[in-house]
Amino acid sequence: MGVAAIFDRVQGALENLGADCPMEEVGGLCPELTWNQVFLAIDHLSRTGQIRVTLDPGRTYRVQAYHAVAGEASHVSPAP
């Protein structure tokens, strides 16, 4: 599998999930990929602004596709 296909696979899995998840669980979304491939994809997608990586209060890195983040924003009602 080529590098671009790996990036697409991880991004697609995160978009299909539609919510954030712990970084460690992304590998479970893409069982055909190694942890190194998943980490490479997360690094690239984060640096290019296609996913968001945050650190929660429990010191766990969480990953979410911006497609899902944008969907959340559309459910927020504007202030009067």
Domain that holds residue 40: 3-73
Q: Is residue 79 part of a domain?
A: no
Handedness of CA 1, 41, 35, 17 (dihedral sign): negative
Report the pLDDT value the prediction gives residue 66, as an integer from 0 to 100.
82
Interhelix angle 3-17/35-47, rounded to 10 degrees, is 80
Place of tokens 């945050």: 54
- pLDDT surpassing 50 at residue 76: no
Report the pLDDT value the prediction gives residue 54, as an integer from 0 to 100.
95
Q: Is residue 42 part of a domain?
A: yes
Number of domains in the chain: 1
Q: List pLDDT tens digits, range 30-67.
A: 999 999 999 999 999 999 999 999 999 999 999 999 86
Q: Is residue 78 part of a domain?
A: no
Provide the CATH number for the domain around residue 53: 1.10.10.10
pTM of the model: 0.79
Q: Is residue 17 part of a domain?
A: yes
Q: Is residue 80 part of a domain?
A: no
Q: Mean pLDDT, to the nearest integer, of 23-31?
A: 94
More confident: 27 or 72: 27
